[in-house]
A and B are shown apart, each in its own frame.
Chain A
Amino acid sequence: MMDKITHDIDELIWRVAEAGDTELTADFLRRYPNLATALSSRQAMVDSMRGARPVPPIATRFVPSTPARANRRPLWLGPLAAGLLVGLALASYQIVKYAQSAPKDPEKTLVVNPQSPTPTPRDGRVITPTPTPNSNYGPGTAPRPDETTDDDGLVVLHTNGTTLFGALNAIKGKGLRLEIMPGVEDMPITLTANRDDGTIALEPLQMLRAVKAAAGFELVDNGPEGLLILPAENTNVIGENERVRSRNVDGN
């Protein structure tokens, strides 16, 4: 029978059954006598529903706190949190590992413009370059900054008036990773020219070997960190200047 009841009539049966109004029920039955059974069972259902209202316990004094049962965290929260922490640790490890293995940017060389005016402090004093105690240079005889310039990836140095540190910086400027260790002192070096203009132009590594031969230092391969420049333990290889000095000491 219910299959024949339309949505509207079904809704009406609910409303009549819920209203519990005898006059309304009589009116409904006059209009739809064939739905008397449906209405009767619906009224019974509604009465049962209303009668099933749970009986609340007596209210105790309210204390604003979350009950222990409700406060208990779900069982899956612990493993999930642990998993997240492990994931975070692994991710951090990978990032650090990657950062350590990634090639570092080539060291930036300081580009000095020889045409730039001498920096003047605010008080107007003129600063004159002061030679370092171990340097053999007088004022104004520092290595020329243009000695590192070339167009073919070669290191170009002047054969005279070049210092060890100037030469090493020029080599570093071509991408060779060098680290000058403590104890290595700056000194003037003399190189043999291979070009007509009195300069020497070599690949960075070849130039390093030439400088090593001229200045006499230890060269240690430090893997990805580059090459270490160490002071010579045995002065088997002596710089040109030292040779002159040695001769002077010996009186030869």
Chain B
Amino acid sequence: MVVKRPNEHMSLGADAWGHAVGEDEALAKRFLEGDEAAFEALHRKYFPRVYTVAHGILLDREDANDAVQEAFTKIYENLPRFRGGSKLGTWIFRIAVNSAIQVSRRLKSKKKWTSLEEVGESAVETIDLDDSAQHVHKAMAEMKHEDRAILSLFYWEELNLIEIGEALECGANAAKTRLFRARSRFKEIYEAMEQS
């Protein structure tokens, strides 16, 4: 039995969402030549995806917006140093993950100083989510942010293991192992919540 993920053996010319890979590099080149509109186009294209990953890690809209802003600022500042070792898209995801994790760590230390009255009943923002999605987000909230990052990239952004490896700065095999562990932990928590 041969099982293939839809995006696992995709042609080299397109990413999971079907965008031409060369399109990103062309936008980056135009931006580096001084065309600010080219960066705006990159921002428009990647904003929803960067936001999704950031939200998956932080599980809060406002924090995710902060992380997205930080990520795009880093992308804007560091694009001249992008050497093309990976696809521009996975480089953007790497920055998105790192920014979200940094925001998460910052919030963690900040919350140590926050009074109990300021903290709501649950740290997970579940507004606008249906029951099933709330269930998933609550289960994810019980996980480490590294695990949440890999689940977001895999299930929501549909990156393949090679792309996840590049985004998380590890190899594809390590990404596979980490994904399996994250899925197992998620399943354990999710099922435990279903039973309770």
A contacts, CB < 8 Å to B: 10-12, 14-16, 18-19, 24, 27-28, 31, 41-42, 45-46, 48-57, 59, 61-62, 64-67, 69-70, 74-76
Contact = CB atoms under 8 A, between A and B. Distances in A.
Contact of A24 (B1, B65, B103, B106): B1
B73 A53 contact: no
Interface of chain B: mostly helix, strand, loop or mixed: helix
B37 to A, nearest CB: 11
Contact of B66 (A14, A41, A45, A69): A69
Contacts of B67: 70
B110 interface: yes
Nearest to B187: A45
A14 B183 contact: yes
Contacts of B155: 46, 49-50, 53
A64 B56 CA distance: 23
Interface stretch (B46-54, B80-88, B90-98, B163-171): B46-54
A167 B4 CA distance: 102
A14 B151 CA distance: 13
A76 B136 CA distance: 34
11 contacts: A11-B180, A31-B1, A45-B187, A48-B135, A53-B155, A56-B47, A59-B43, A66-B69, A67-B70, A70-B103, A75-B110
Given A59-B48, A70-B103, A64 B1 contact: no
A74 B110 contact: yes
Interface of B: 1, 3-6, 39-40, 43-44, 47-48, 51-52, 55-56, 61-62, 64-67, 69-70, 72-73, 76-77, 103, 106, 109-110, 113, 128-130, 132-133, 135-137, 151, 155-156, 180, 183-184, 186-187, 190-191
Contacts of B184: 10
A5 to B, nearest CB: 11
A52 B103 CA distance: 22
A46 B179 CA distance: 14
B135 A56 contact: no
A56 to B, nearest CB: 4
B66 A27 contact: no
A226 B48 CA distance: 80
Contacts of B135: 48, 52
A45 B1 CA distance: 22
Q: Which of A50, A62, A76 has the most CB of B within 10 A?
A: A62
B106 A74 contact: yes
Given A49-B136, A52-B133, A67-B70, A15 B40 contact: no
A74 B109 contact: yes
Interface of chain A: mostly helix, strand, loop or mixed: helix
A75 to B, nearest CB: 5
Contact of A66 (B62, B70, B132, B136): B70
A233 B66 CA distance: 82
B152 to A, nearest CB: 8
A86 B130 CA distance: 54
Contacts of B110: 74-75
Contact of A50 (B103, B156, B190): B156
A48 B193 CA distance: 14
A51 B51 contact: no
A62 to B, nearest CB: 4
A69 B187 CA distance: 34
Nearest to A74: B109
A50 to B, nearest CB: 5
Given A12-B3, A19-B5, A48 B133 contact: yes
Given A70-B66, A74-B109, A62 B133 contact: no
7 cross-chain pairs, A with B, having the tightest CB-CB distances, nearest first: A52-B136, A59-B47, A52-B133, A56-B48, A56-B51, A15-B3, A54-B55
